[in-house]
């Protein structure tokens, strides 16, 4: 009992450190987003750049999703209770889905706005040439948002948080959006007002990339929420770990799924029918320890031990 309490306390402390790191990283990104939202809106209005105003909206969506991540990661890090036997990890997956859907929405709006401006241009309407301040804002956004992506994705991968990784891609999508905006604005400034169409054309190219990235993240989070199994290579690794234990002759009925930043594993393992319950339990415990060493101490594991079948059915060892 004392050992179990020690493990629980250790897990709670690790969870608290994880949440603190995620919150600190997300707030750093939020500070960057807040500054960029204000500067981009001002630069877009003063510089007469629709692409820059769209870029400002993108940064605003980043700011909103930052707070979504903070709230849902806090909820996801709560320990298991009477109503949540497997903990609250799915809240983090839900945050990934929300962030990804927001990213998809931003990309779609940017796509429609770009197509509308291109359509106006082809119908003879002259687009206003953007100003230098809009170009400065785009270049600053590229540098700051790529930096935000780098430090956010490092934390997300280290802590195995899909929500943080999704938020990092929100930062990078803003950086790519700003690259397209900078190219469009820079081209329009350098080549004159007749080339102002470069502004929405650049925004159009970037919007396609944003939508593609968002779709991948949505597909991943929906898979987790609908109990999708872990990839085949992970399941094969699980079978190899369990099969390497002494007296284990077979593994079947393997079921896996992801719960936030943790995974759950259920399996049946076959052992000789003449070994004692104590020995069978000892072997099952060894398998659990090996799996947790590989996939993390928070891994949920359920092992059903059964005797080896003789002539296709179970027989009492004394028969």
Mean pLDDT across the chain: 80
Identify any residues that bridge with 270 across adjacent strands, giving them in sequence order: 250, 306
Is the model's pLDDT at 8 over the cut of 60? no
Residue 313 domain flag: no
User: Which one is predicted more confidently, 135 or 8?
Assistant: 135
pLDDT band (50, 70, 90) for residue 84: low
Domain end position, chosen among 181, 203, 225: 225
74 lies in which domain range? Answer: 2-225
49-71 mean pLDDT:
75
Residue 57 domain flag: yes
Residues 22 and 154 in one domain: yes
Residues 108 and 199 in one domain: yes
Per-residue pLDDT tens digits for 142-162: 999 899 999 999 998 888 777
Residues 213 and 131 in one domain: yes
Q: Are 199 and 50 in contact (CB under 8 A)?
A: yes
Residues 274 and 220 in one domain: no
Residue 317 domain flag: no
pLDDT band (50, 70, 90) for residue 283: very high
Three-state DSSP at 305 gives strand
Is the model's pLDDT at 6 over the cut of 70? no
Among 177-181, 253-257, 288-292, name the one with the lowest average pLDDT.
Answer: 177-181
Q: Is the pTM of this model over 0.75?
A: no
Residue 209 domain flag: yes
Is the model's pLDDT at 3 over the cut of 50? no
User: Which one is predicted more confidently, 259 or 37?
Assistant: 37
pLDDT of residue 172: 84
Residue 314 domain flag: no
Residues composing the chain: 319
Q: Are 269 and 242 in contact (CB under 8 A)?
A: yes
pLDDT of residue 193: 66
48-56 mean pLDDT:
74
Give the whole-angstrom CA distance, residue 132 versus residue 252: 65
Domain end position, chosen among 225, 252, 284: 225
Residue 319 domain flag: no
Residues 98 and 19 in one domain: yes
pLDDT of residue 178: 81
Most confident of 2-11, 160-169, 201-210: 160-169
Residues 208 and 242 in one domain: no
User: Which one is predicted more confidently, 263 or 271?
Assistant: 271
Among 102-106, 133-137, 303-307, name the one with the lowest average pLDDT.
Answer: 102-106
The answer for residues whose C-beta is within 8 angstroms of residue 207's C-beta and 6 or more apart is 107, 108, 110, 111, 114, 177
pLDDT band (50, 70, 90) for residue 198: confident
Edge-to-edge, what's the strand order for the sheet holding 300-307?
A: 250-259, 262-271, 300-307
Is the model's pLDDT at 94 over the cut of 90? no
User: Which one is predicted more confidently, 243 or 100?
Assistant: 243
What is the CATH classification number for the domain harbouring 247? 3.30.70.1350
What is the CATH classification number for the domain harbouring 134? 1.20.1510.10
- CA separation (Å) from 194 to 118, 178, 182, 183, 202? 13, 22, 17, 15, 15
Query: In 184-275, at which residue ranges do the beta strands (DSSP E only) sit?
Result: 250-259, 262-271
Per-residue pLDDT tens digits for 232-257: 999 999 999 999 998 898 899 999 98
269-292 mean pLDDT:
91
Residues 142 and 91 in one domain: yes
User: Which one is predicted more confidently, 274 or 192?
Assistant: 274
């Amino acid at each position: 009992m004392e050992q179990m309490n020690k493990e629980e306390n250790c897990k709670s402390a690790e969870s608290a450190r994880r949440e603190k790191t995620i919150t600190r990283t997300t707030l750093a990104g939020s500070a960057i987003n807040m500054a960029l939202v204000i500067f981009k809106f001002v630069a877009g209005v003063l510089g007469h750049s629709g692409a820059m105003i769209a870029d400002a909206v993108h940064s605003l969506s980043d700011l909103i999703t930052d707070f979504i991540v903070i709230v849902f990661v806090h909820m996801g890090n709560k320990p298991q209770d009477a109503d949540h036997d497997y903990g609250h990890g799915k809240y983090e997956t839900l945050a990934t889905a929300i962030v990804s859907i927001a990213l998809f929405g931003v990309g779609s709006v940017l796509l429609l706005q770009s197509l509308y401006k291109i359509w106006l241009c082809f119908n003879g309407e002259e687009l206003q040439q953007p100003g230098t301040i809009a170009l400065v804002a785009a270049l600053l956004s590229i540098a700051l948002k790529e930096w935000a992506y780098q430090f956010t994705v490092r934390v997300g991968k280290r802590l195995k948080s899909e929500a943080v990784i999704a938020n990092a891609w929100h930062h990078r999508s803003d950086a790519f959006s700003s690259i397209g905006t900078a190219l469009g604005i820079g081209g329009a400034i350098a080549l004159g007002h007749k080339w102002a169409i470069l502004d929405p054309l650049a925004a159009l190219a970037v919007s396609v990339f944003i939508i593609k990235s968002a779709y991948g993240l949505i597909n991943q989070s929906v898979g987790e929420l609908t109990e999708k199994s872990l990839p085949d290579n992970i399941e094969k690794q699980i079978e190899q770990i369990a099969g390497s234990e002494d007296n284990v002759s077979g593994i079947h009925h393997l079921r896996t799924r992801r719960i936030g930043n943790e995974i759950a594993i259920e399996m049946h393992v076959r052992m000789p029918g003449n070994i004692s319950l104590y020995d069978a339990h000892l072997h099952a415990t060894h398998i659990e320890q090996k799996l947790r060493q590989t996939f993390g101490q928070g891994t949920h594991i359920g092992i059903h031990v059964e005797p080896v079948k003789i002539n296709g059915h179970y027989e009492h060892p004394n028969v």
